[in-house]
Chains A and B, each alone.
Chain A
Amino acid sequence: MTVWIFAAACLAGSLGAVSRFVVDGEIRRRRPSSFPWATLVINVTGSLLLGIVTGAVVAHGEPTVWKTVVGTGFCGGYTTFSTAMVETLRLAQGKATIATMTYALGTLVAATAAGGTGLALGWWL
């Protein structure tokens, strides 16, 4: 691990977070809703991308620097666990029990399924 790879991963994480900020803002502006669609979309698409990169590295021995910069950096900065937790509590606070369960478990299932799909894609591509 060189300091350059570390720096590249941090920059990629920064780019990922800015992408999340912009995508989140655009989805909220176009589809205003009390249901946190934006974070759901971000976490699912980020898991798909991380799956693809991880699958490619595992299957084809792609340089792990890609896994570090795109996976640990970009995908890690793009997706967020903390916001998903706080948004779940907000839904629960609003007494939206079905929406709360749907959001918490739906994100988990959809992100894991997207990650698995990505692993298969990265493997076969």
Chain B
Amino acid sequence: MPVAPHPTAGAAAPHPANRPVHLSAPMIAIVAGGALLGTAARYGLALRWPVRTAAWPWATFTVNLIGAFALGFVLEALARRGEDAGHRRLVRLGIGTGFLGAFTTYSSLAVETDMLVHAARPALAVAYPLASVSAGLLVALAGIALAAGHHRWRLSRLPQDPDAVDTSPADGEKR
């Protein structure tokens, strides 16, 4: 049962399209490939950056902030370039859903907080999750703003760029 495409579909990049993208073998393979690298990057960083128990979990904190910034940037940049289809969808699934989704982790944030409670570090157990989420929101917003600014700069420099004119979503820049 096809649904009429939303006029601003490009702005809602993570929402799958009307067809079940999540059941398509090539799309699953792209997510799997990106996630393999994302997990390797997160685990590799954690191995090189061991964190003492009952201390601030710097490794998780850092990967989560880097990943939140990058996902904000990538999704906004893709949404501003056009609808979620073709190579844009592949980039979103491979880098966004796969790599950055696997690079960042919510379960470690939650269980590390529980372990700080268990280790009787109440100040850290409150500060760590709240700092993660508030800083995560700020850096994701910064990533979005950077992508939006870059897009405006690109349009102002290349007004004749057929790519920028033809594939801009309905909510594209008014210049």
A window 72-125: CB within 8 A of B: 72-73, 75-90, 104-105, 107-108, 111-112, 114-116, 118-119
- Asked if B110 and A47 make an inter-chain contact with CB atoms under 8 angstroms apart, the answer reads yes
Closest-CB distance, B18 to chain A (whole angstroms): 9
Q: How far is the CA of A108 from the CA of B64 in the complex (A)?
A: 14
How many of B's residues come within 8 Å of A, CB to CB?
A: 62
Q: How far is the CA of A82 from the CA of B109 in the complex (A)?
A: 12
> Which of these binds chain A: B80-88, B135-143, B150-158, B162-170?
B135-143
Interface class of chain B by DSSP: helix
Q: How far is the CA of A22 from the CA of B39 in the complex (A)?
A: 18
B 11-24 binary contact with A (CB < 8 Å = 1; else 0): 01011100011110
- When C-beta atoms are compared, the residue in chain B nearest to A45 turns out to be B107
Query: Would A118 and B111 be within 8 Å (CB), given that A14-B35, A14-B102 are in contact?
Result: yes
Residues of A within 8 A of B118 (CB): 119
Residues of A within 8 A of B117 (CB): 116
Query: Of A1, A25, A75, which contacts B20 at CB under 8 A?
Result: A25
Task: Judge if B114 is at the interface, Cβ distance under 8 Å.
Answer: yes
Residues of A within 8 A of B28 (CB): 18, 21-22
- Asked if A81 and B114 make an inter-chain contact with CB atoms under 8 angstroms apart, the answer reads no
- Asked if B23 and A25 make an inter-chain contact with CB atoms under 8 angstroms apart, the answer reads yes
- Asked if A82 and B101 make an inter-chain contact with CB atoms under 8 angstroms apart, the answer reads yes
Q: How far is the CA of A113 from the CA of B45 in the complex (A)?
A: 27
Residues of A within 8 A of B31 (CB): 17-18, 21
Q: How far is the CA of A51 from the CA of B114 in the complex (A)?
A: 9
- Asked if A17 and B136 make an inter-chain contact with CB atoms under 8 angstroms apart, the answer reads no
Residues of B within 8 A of A13 (CB): 35-36, 38-40, 42-43, 102
Query: Would A76 and B72 be within 8 Å (CB), given that A50-B110, A115-B107 are in contact?
Result: no
15 contacts between A and B (CB under 8 A): A9-B39, A10-B39, A14-B33, A21-B22, A24-B22, A43-B106, A72-B46, A75-B105, A76-B105, A79-B105, A82-B64, A86-B68, A86-B72, A108-B129, A115-B114
Chain A residues in contact with chain B, CB under 8 A?
A: 1, 6, 9-18, 20-22, 24-26, 28-29, 43, 46-47, 49-51, 54, 71-73, 75-90, 104-105, 107-108, 111-112, 114-116, 118-119
